[in-house]
Every structure is written in C-alpha cells, then in structure tokens.
Amino acid sequence: MSENKKPEKIVGVKGMNDILPAEAPLWELLENTTESVLKSYGYLKIVTPILEETGLFARAIGAVTDIVEKEMYSFTDSMNGDLLTLRPEGTAGTVRAVLEHNLAYDGPKRLWYKGPMFRHERPQRGRYRQFFQFGVEAIGFTGPDIDCELIMLCRRLWDDLGLQNIRLELNSIGDAAERLRHRADLIAYFEANSGTLDAEATRRLHTNPLRILDTKNPAMQDLVNNAPKLLDYLDGESQAHFDGVKRILDHNNVPYTVNPRLVRGIDYYNRTVFEFITDELGAQGTVCAGGRYDPLIEMFGGKPTPAVGFAMGMERLVELMKSGGESAAPSQCDVYMVHQGEAAQMQAFVLAERIRDAGLDVVLHCAAASGAGSFKTQMKKADASGAAFAVILGDDEIANHVAAVKAMRAGAEGQQQATVPFDDVVDYLVEQIVGGHDHDHDHVHYHH
Ligand code: ATP
Ligand code: MG
C-alpha cells in the first residue's frame, strides 16, 4: 500500500442535496408549521414507500408526460427482475395505498404526506433530482368547497410562515369530453401556425398539445396567448364547479388571477387547477401546485371517487424563508457540562443524566482529537453551543459536593454564576430555565 496516496474523494449524487445542521432548523420550522396547519384543518398523515412498481406511475401520470417520458429513476430489481421506480411524486402512491387498504370506502378522507421525490431533471436553482414535497390528497369530495379549503389552507400556511408575495393562479381544465373538443381545435390552430412551433411543441402537437400552452419559449408567447382557451369549452357542470370555486374564494377575500393557460403536466387532472407562484425565486417560482383528479381512482380500478390535492416544493419554500430573513440559528442544548479531572468527569455523567431526566437538553463535553480540553476551551464550546447554562465541575467542586452553574446568556446584570450543591442542580436549572412551569419541554432552541 502506498502511504502518500490519499483515497479518492467521494461526493454526493448530482442534483441531490445534503441538508446540513446549519440549515436543518429552517426545515424543521417549515415542517412544524405545515404540520400544525394541516392538523388545524383535520388532515391525517399517510406514509407510503419511496419505491413503487414502475407501472403505477406510467398508469397514473400518463405516458406522454415529462415525468414518465424522461424524468423517472427506474431500474430492474436484480434480485427478482421487478421493474421499480423511485417515486417522482406522491399522489400515485397515496392513491394506490388508499385503494389497497380500502380507506376511502367508508367516507371521504383528508390525507397528507411529506418526503423525498426523485426526478431526473437538469439541476438548477429550485430544481433538483431529489427534492422534498409536502402534499395533500382529499379523497371522496366532489364540490368546489374542498378545492377552496385546500387553497385557503395554503394561504394560511404562507401567513404562518411569514411569506408574502405569493400569488394564486387559478384555472379550470374541464373534463375529458371538454378537453377533447378543445384539443381538436387546438391542434388545428397550431397546425395552421406550424411555422411558429419550436421542436418540442411540434413533437407534442399530437401527443400532449395542451402542454404546449405551458411553453416558456418567448417566440411562442403570442401564439399560445391567442390559442383557443379551454375555459371557453366548459359545459354546464364544469362551469358551475369553477364558478363555485371563485364564489367561495371571493367571499373569503382570497385574491387570485384566472390564468387560462395554466395546465398541469400530469394527465389525471380535471376541472380546478391552481398554482401558488412567487417572483422572488427566478424561473422556478411555483411553490405549490394542485388540482382536481376525479378520473384517477377509477383508472386504478377503484369505484369512481372524486379527489383533489396539491404538492408543494419544500426547497423552494426554504429558499423563500431565507430570503425573507428567517434564520433560525440552532442552539444545541439548554445546558453544557464542563469538567476537568476524572472524578469530575464521573460526576458530570451522573448529573447530565439527571438533568435530562428533568426534560432539559444537555451536551456533555467529550474528548476530541486535541484532547479533553482546558476549562477555557470547554467554556468556548459551551458558549458556541448556545446553551443557557454551563455546569462546571473541577477538583474544588468535587471536594465540596457542589457545581458551579454559570448563566451563559445573562442580561444586563452581567454573567451570573452560582454555587449549587449536587442534589439541587436539577431543581436550580429547571427553575432558571423553565421558571417553575410544568415542563414538557416544548421550547425550541431558536435564538435569533
Ligand atoms: P415544473 O413545471 O416546474 O417542472 P411540475 O409541474 O413538474 O413543475 P409538480 O409535479 O406540480 O411540478 O410538483 C409540485 C411542486 O413540487 C412544484 O411546484 C415545485 O415547487 C416542486 N418541484 C417539482 N419538481 C421539482 C424539482 N425537480 N426540484 C425541486 N422542486 C420541485
Ligand atoms: Mg416538472
């Protein structure tokens, strides 16, 4: 073995991010806030596997969509030849589980999920190959009321997160028959203007012409703006549903813009579609997208069951929280244990466990490569930990059966230090930190 040859550096998979401890508290804040909003609307959590059979997504999402055509991580299980896919979105798996366990047959269900999704896209700001979504699926509800509930739930979440400047775009893409009539006219329109279509649009012309409306190509904007609008093809029922959505939103002062070009890239959607968009994140400004997917459950072999849902991109929301100045700096613990000498170390272990028994978070100083560390080094670590108190044990303290308890974040009175008998340390800390309240330790260590 050559001694001076360093092993090659291993790096993560392109487009897949690490969330480091410095950023984790922001994620935690997003997750906690979202979960409490979901709870306040009565939504229940569902967890499904990250792997599903490839056929599930091909069937649910549609063969001629971006996702199924080119974005899925699919592979053959070398153990048994199964064709599997890392989930690109959460709806297919959730609906699969709902059907498999007969969840929706005893009445409608309000469900939510969160977790990583995988799409083989070109990595760029706001677009990754592994990304996290929170999603909601309301299954078994027919009316415009639930569509509005989802939209208002999102609005509450943006408020609770302190996010401004997120606007709502709304559209109805009607039902299959309406889309078919519109599609024929749309294809005829694009054919009559084929000179203006780019390569991608030409390719999509006969497979997924609706998606051409989504184009970001500046040269095609006039063309798509003047294209036949699906909204003009809605029949009585779809129109009434859309009117109902707008009526409830208006009544609740929810601002929105009807964008007749808003379509979803996935086949299973019908009627209401919506997106929450911000201009603060550049090109990848959609933070949440959703809509109704009444046909999906029947497509899966279930009884016809209407449904509506949305998914939001957590990376983009975290970016927004950051740009809004949110910086929840983590504090690691309530108490940092500083000790010098073997007897002090033994006592520090015992005290640390007792303080944790009382519900406080404790970091016990442990030896690093550089050694156990002087008092001074240890106090620096205590300071950096963000702890409210350092508990200090040395030979003198051990001899006198006391600990020095130092307030690390003392106010104007200056840094206070108290000498506290071993047996009183826990009570002293609880009194100082929790102030005698019943302590179920829900306090979060964010210091700004
Ligand atoms: P786009 O048109 O930007 O590709 P999409 O229609 O593929 O979006 P959805 O499938 O509706 O996106 O996903 C819902 C949300 O998940 C998006 O609005 C976005 O916030 C987030 N999202 C989707 N794809 C990615 C990705 N590759 N990286 C990060 N977030 C993503
Ligand atoms: Mg996409």
Atom of ligand 1 nearest to the CA of 66: 7
Atom of ligand 1 nearest to the CA of 286: 18
Residue 388 alpha carbon to ligand 1 centre in Å: 41
Joined tokens for residue 317:
């929301």
Tens of pLDDT, residue by residue over 329-361, are 778 899 999 999 999 999 999 999 999 999 999
Residue 155 alpha carbon to ligand 1 centre in Å: 19
Atom of ligand 1 nearest to the CA of 119: 27
Q: Which residue owns the Cα nearest ligand 1 atom 25?
A: 127
> Domain for residue 212, yes or no?
no
Distance CA 270, CA 259 (A): 15
**Count of domains in the chain?**
2
Question: Within this chain, do residues 250 and 388 fall inside the same structural domain, yes or no?
Answer: no
Residue 280 has pLDDT above 80, yes or no: yes
Question: Within this chain, do residues 305 and 398 fall inside the same structural domain, yes or no?
Answer: no
Question: Within this chain, do residues 248 and 105 fall inside the same structural domain, yes or no?
Answer: yes
Residue 257 alpha carbon to ligand 1 centre in Å: 20
> Domain for residue 242, yes or no?
yes
Residue 417 has pLDDT above 60, yes or no: yes
Question: Within this chain, do residues 273 and 338 fall inside the same structural domain, yes or no?
Answer: no
pLDDT at residue number 216: 87
- Judge contact between 26 and 318, C-beta under 8 A: yes
List phi, psi (to 5°) of 261.
Answer: -95, 0
pTM comes to 0.87
pLDDT at residue number 386: 93
| Domain end point (choices 323, 356, 386) | 323
- CA distances (Å), 79 to each of 54, 56, 86, 253, in order? 16, 20, 17, 56
Residue 444 has pLDDT above 70, yes or no: no
Q: Which residues line ligand 1 (CB under 6 A)?
A: 89, 119, 121, 126-128, 131, 133, 265, 286-289, 311-313, 315-316
Distance CA 138, CA 114 (A): 15
> Domain for residue 36, yes or no?
yes
Average pLDDT along the chain: 91
Atom of ligand 1 nearest to the CA of 265: 6
pLDDT band (50, 70, 90) for residue 312:
very high
pLDDT band (50, 70, 90) for residue 303:
very high
Task: Work out the percent of the chain whose per-residue pLDDT is above 70.
Answer: 94
Q: Measuring CA to CA, which residue among 336, 335, 342, 348 is closest to residue 393? A: 348
Question: Within this chain, do residues 140 and 252 fall inside the same structural domain, yes or no?
Answer: yes
Q: Please spell the DSSP secondary structure of 403-430, one letter per residue.
A: EEEEESS--TT---EEEEEGGGHHHHHH
Q: Which amino acid is at 114?
A: K
Residue 437 has pLDDT above 60, yes or no: no
Question: Within this chain, do residues 319 and 337 fall inside the same structural domain, yes or no?
Answer: no
Q: What CATH code is carried by the domain that includes residue 33?
A: 3.30.930.10
Gap between the terminal Cα atoms of the chain: 50
> Domain for residue 304, yes or no?
yes
> Cα dihedral sign for 118, 132, 286, 128?
negative
Residue 194 alpha carbon to ligand 1 centre in Å: 29
pLDDT at residue number 267: 66
Q: Which residue owns the Cα nearest ligand 1 atom 24?
A: 127
Tens of pLDDT, residue by residue over 144-170, are 999 999 999 999 999 999 999 999 999
Q: What CATH code is carried by the domain that includes residue 355?
A: 3.40.50.800
Q: Are strands 257-258 and 166-172 parallel, antiparallel or unpaired?
A: parallel
Question: Within this chain, do residues 243 and 115 fall inside the same structural domain, yes or no?
Answer: yes
| Domain end point (choices 261, 290, 323) | 323
> CB neighbours of 242 closer than 8 A, spacing ≥ 6?
144, 172, 231, 234, 271, 272
Distance CA 213, CA 261 (A): 6
Question: Within this chain, do residues 169 and 265 fall inside the same structural domain, yes or no?
Answer: yes
Atom of ligand 1 nearest to the CA of 310: 14
> Domain for residue 214, yes or no?
no
CA dihedral 366, 429, 382, 367 (to 10 degrees): -10
Residue 289 alpha carbon to ligand 2 centre in Å: 11
Polymer length of the chain: 448
Question: Within this chain, do residues 261 and 144 fall inside the same structural domain, yes or no?
Answer: yes
pLDDT at residue number 283: 87
Kindly state the average pLDDT of the residues 172-186: 92
Question: Within this chain, do residues 241 and 339 fall inside the same structural domain, yes or no?
Answer: no
Highest mean pLDDT among 57-61, 106-110, 434-438, 440-444: 106-110
Question: Within this chain, do residues 275 and 381 fall inside the same structural domain, yes or no?
Answer: no
Minimum-distance ligand to the CA of 89? Answer: 1
Q: Measuring CA to CA, which residue among 149, 130, 165, 160 is closest to residue 31? A: 160
- Judge contact between 173 and 180, C-beta under 8 A: no
- CA distances (Å), 385 to each of 59, 417, 439, in order? 51, 18, 22
Residue 200 alpha carbon to ligand 1 centre in Å: 19
> Domain for residue 1, yes or no?
no
List phi, psi (to 5°) of 26.
Answer: -65, -40
> Domain for residue 179, yes or no?
no
Domain that holds residue 338: 331-436
Question: Within this chain, do residues 168 and 55 fall inside the same structural domain, yes or no?
Answer: yes
Residue 426 alpha carbon to ligand 2 centre in Å: 53
| Domain end point (choices 288, 323, 358) | 323
Q: Which residue owns the Cα nearest ligand 1 atom 16?
A: 313
Phi-psi region of 401 (alpha: psi -120 to 50; beta: other; left: phi over 0): left
